[in-house]
Amino acid sequence: DAKTTQPTSMDCAEGRAANLPCNHSTISGNEYVYWYRQIHSQGPQYIIHGLKNNETNEMASLIITEDRKSSTLILPHATLRDTAVYYCIVRVAGAGGGADGLTFGKGTHLIIQP
């Protein structure tokens, strides 16, 4: 699976859009970009995933650059409950080759300020 690089931490004011960047310059053509988040001492929660087109769901939007080497997760109206560690993961969808699991790095600690 391709390696990802994320900032260690970010702040965002409540009610503003939170934009979380992720670099994945070694991504290959059949690898998807997944985003999960983990609120302190809980299990991670799936947010969104995409291949090359921008995606939107009820939680967030995912913007993937045309060369697919980076992406941005957007939380349109951040609330205090969005404070969490956000993980950007790149992997082949489905079983793929090798161990069938997700490789979580250290992620970005997003802190929403009141």
Partner 1 sequence: DGGITQSPKYLFRKEGQNVTLSCEQNLNHDAMYWYRQDPGQGLRLIYYSQIVNDFQKGDIAEGYSVSREKKESFPLTVTSAQKNPTAFYLCASRRDASSYNEQFFGPGTRLTVL
Closest approach of Cβ 3 to partner 1, in Å? 12
User: Going by C-beta distance under 8 Å and a sequence separation of 6 or more, which residues neighbour residue 39?
Assistant: 45, 81, 83, 84
Enumerate residues 28-87 that contact partner 1 by CB under 8 A.
Answer: 32, 34, 41-46, 49, 87
Residue 38 identity: Q
For residue 105, state whether it binds partner 1 (rule: CB under 8 A).
yes
Q: Rounded to the nearest whole angstrom, what is the least distance from the CB of residue 9 to partner 1 in the complex?
A: 12
CB under 8 A: which stretch of 15-23, 56-64, 69-77, 92-100 binds partner 1? Answer: 92-100
Q: Which is nearer to partner 1, 67 or 99 (CB)?
A: 99
How many Å apart are CA 55 and CA 110, to the nearest integer? Answer: 21
Binding site for partner 1 (CB under 8 A): 32, 34, 41-46, 49, 87, 93-95, 99-107
